Amino acid sequence: MVSAKGTKSHIHRIFCSVAQKFHSHQHYDAEKVERSKNIAGTSLRGKVAVITGSSKSIGAAIAKALAAEGANVIINYAKDGKSAEEVAQQINSASIASTSASISLPPTSTDVQKNGPNGVELPPQQQAVLIKADTSTISGGQYLLQETLRMFGRLDILILSAGLMGSKTLSEIDEPFFDAHFDSNVKAPLFLVKAAAEVMERPGGRIIFLSTSLTASSTLLPNTLCYVASKGAAEQIARVLAKDLGTKGFTVNTVAPGPVDTTLFRIGTPQHVIDSIAAQIPSHRIAEPEDIAPIVAFLASPAAQWVNGQILGVNGGYVV
């Protein structure tokens, strides 16, 4: 025989169990709704993006693609300031011409106009700014990050586009050649990511490495030894970081282009070799930097929040 007190206790336990399940369901739905709010398509409005090595070629195309989606972009260069200025001017001209763009950026050290109330310094309407820094060194990467934070106070997107691509066979390489590739393509980017991860906006930070489809290709030339080895190392670093930094709400991915028609690609490459490579691509052409940039822009966007730790071959079917 069950006492009234026992019956009351049993009913209380059932009620608590049902309430707990109901509360958990509500909590789950609330989290789901909150995640859906964070999915804002591919717009990068209000984001701050650093693109290393963005004065020309793929890096420049990436900077323009991110700016077209509304991001404030850092054009980074080590030597070619003229090309970097041209990229920034193109972006800023397009921003001014657009009636829908209204992005106010912090002042640079040399370009400030005193036109605010009581002579307060106001920044010019710029969407792209320049920072000279040698990102093949750890100190150069640290300087780039510090200047970005000084200007904008935040960092949302880090694109590791700068790199070294030398051509020497095993019999030709020496220690300085090897070290230069691994410093530029592996060591410096890793430590830049380490520093950036401490200050990037979370959740939602985006880190994207640039590699090469040669890491997965069977048509390799002997003189790509150090380049392919260093890019392969960077790919594996990105895979591991996706597991690590994913706990902070970041994504870490790698874009691996195939042959791209850049000055660097054409130097020392005979036209008949270029034609032969193009013949191996279904569309029978070499990629342009603008073929690569939209994929990077997508990975940098909120819409790509569920793409993490991936190596995306963007090569037109050159490597499948």
Strand order in the sheet with 251-257: 128-132, 72-77, 48-51, 157-160, 206-210, 251-257, 311-314
171, 186 Cβ separation under 8 angstroms: no
Are the CB atoms for 251 and 207 separated by under 8 Å? yes
Bridge-based pairing of strands 251-257 and 72-77 is unpaired
Residue 227 falls in the annotated catalytic set: yes
Q: Left if phi > 0, otherwise alpha if psi is -120 to 50, otherwise beta: which for 275? A: alpha
Query: What one-character DSSP code corresponds to residue 248?
Result: G
Q: Of these residues, 28, 143, 227, 318, which one is catalytic?
A: 227
* Cβ atoms of residues 76 and 52 within 8 Å: yes
3-state DSSP: the chain helix, strand, coil percent, rounded to 5? 50, 15, 35
Contacts of 140 by beta carbon, 8 Å cutoff, 6+ apart: 78, 133, 134, 188
Among all residues, which ones are annotated catalytic? 227
